[in-house]
Amino acid sequence: MKEITITTQFKVFDSTTDLPFDVQNLMDQAAAVRKTAYAPYSKFRVGVALILDNGQVILGSNQENAAYPSGLCAERVAIFYAGAKYPEAKVLKMAITAASDTNETTTPIPPCGSCRQAIAEYEIKQDTPIEIYFMGEIGTIYKSESLKNLLPFMFVKKFL
């Protein structure tokens, strides 16, 4: 038997004012679009802003549906739209913020497993890491240099 160790590394920012200005702007846009989430069931709203290498900013918010799991997470709304509208563009940075209608979220909230896989597909396709910043409603922000930090064992097309 062998044992392997996998380590990941994140940068931690105490507040949005500590972020680089361009990321602060992305996070502000993510917080604004979070308010457009359709979340009558979970009462959990997520907003995403991502910037492409062509300068376009793409926004997304989660959209729920009574016919669960027909809804879609904010991360996938944004990255799928970017892929459809700008198929040749690369995603450079993604800002994610999440808030609950019932309690204040102060812990950084990462993408769910399905969103991690979707982001991984785009990161592999473009052969360039995507910087991912994520937070709750307020408080600490985590930065990952690549989706690989969040999903070290990615399912990739060579497995098919």
At 118-134, the pLDDT tens digits run 999 999 999 999 999 99
- Give catalytic status of residue 145 as yes or no: no
123 is in an annotated binding site: no
104 is in an annotated binding site: no
Please give the biggest Cα pair distance in the chain: 50
Separation between Cα atoms, residue 141 and residue 18, nearest integer Å: 9
Q: Which superfamily does CATH assign the domain made up of 11-151 to?
A: Cytidine Deaminase, domain 2 (3.40.140.10)
Q: Which of 75, 104, 121, 131 is catalytic?
A: 75
Average pLDDT value for residue range 23-27: 98
- The pLDDT-based confidence of 155 (bands split at 50, 70, 90) is confident
Domain residues of the chain, as ranges? 11-151
Q: What is the rounded average pLDDT for all residues in the chain?
A: 96
Separation between Cα atoms, residue 40 and residue 37, nearest integer Å: 9
Separation between Cα atoms, residue 11 and residue 146, nearest integer Å: 12
131 is in an annotated binding site: no
CB 45 within 8 A of CB 60: no
Beta strands in 30-157 (DSSP E): 44-52, 57-61, 91-100, 131-135, 141-144
103 is in an annotated binding site: no
Task: Look up the pTM and report it.
Answer: 0.95
Residue 78 pLDDT > 90: yes
pLDDT digit string, tens, across residues 82-130: 999 999 999 999 999 999 999 999 999 999 999 999 999 999 999 999 9
User: Which pLDDT belongs to residue 154?
Assistant: 84
Percent of the chain with pLDDT strictly greater than 90: 92
